Amino acid sequence: MNAPGLRAILSVALALTILSYAAYLVESTPGTASLANPPSHFTVNGRTFGITYIATDQGSRQTGLMNRKISNTTTMLFVFPSPGTYSFWMSGVNSTLDIIWLNVTGNAGTVVYVVQNAQECSSPVACPIYQPTSSANWVIEAKGGFSEANGVSVGTTIQFA
């Protein structure tokens, strides 16, 4: 077999492997998380921010901020029914994002992992997958640069109300 033909076969195999893994990640995400009183804002290091979107079920967590206009004030809260190492990718997102994983109990959470300036990607085949090294039950996505500008790092406490 010639080199271009082999490259084409390997490219297709790689694309199928990546898509299969992405489908596994989506399907392995647990069901709906219930929030009696969903928070409307959060406070970190004395600064308060509104929550633009909340994702509590598999469909809304899967869609995330895909194909939405993202501004400096856009935030999305992802709530999972139990702690886990939930993965994120940036397919169809029109801006870099900071992804902040937290362990939340009651109205407060501790940051356990942060990805700063996760790059947007136009093709699911080329998207990196971001996964924390520690379990979390809530995740905040905000425009890239949010974490640095507001002093968010592992160990930071975030209050929700």
- Provide the pLDDT for residue 123: 75
Structural domains of the chain, count: 1
What CATH number did the domain enclosing 137 receive? Answer: 2.60.120.1140
Q: Lowest mean pLDDT: which of 64-68, 99-103, 115-119, 147-151? A: 64-68
Helix, strand, or coil (residue 125) = helix
Q: Lowest mean pLDDT: which of 6-10, 115-119, 143-147? A: 6-10
Max mean pLDDT among 19-28, 63-72, 91-100, 144-153 falls in 144-153
Q: 113: domain range?
A: 3-160
- Provide the pLDDT for residue 96: 95
Here the contacts of 18-22 (C-beta below 8 Å, separation 24 or greater) are 18/124, 18/125, 19/124, 19/125, 21/129, 22/89, 22/124, 22/127, 22/129
Task: Name the one residue in this structure whose structure tokens are 């999305």.
Answer: 76
The answer to whether 52 and 76 are in contact (CB under 8 A) is yes
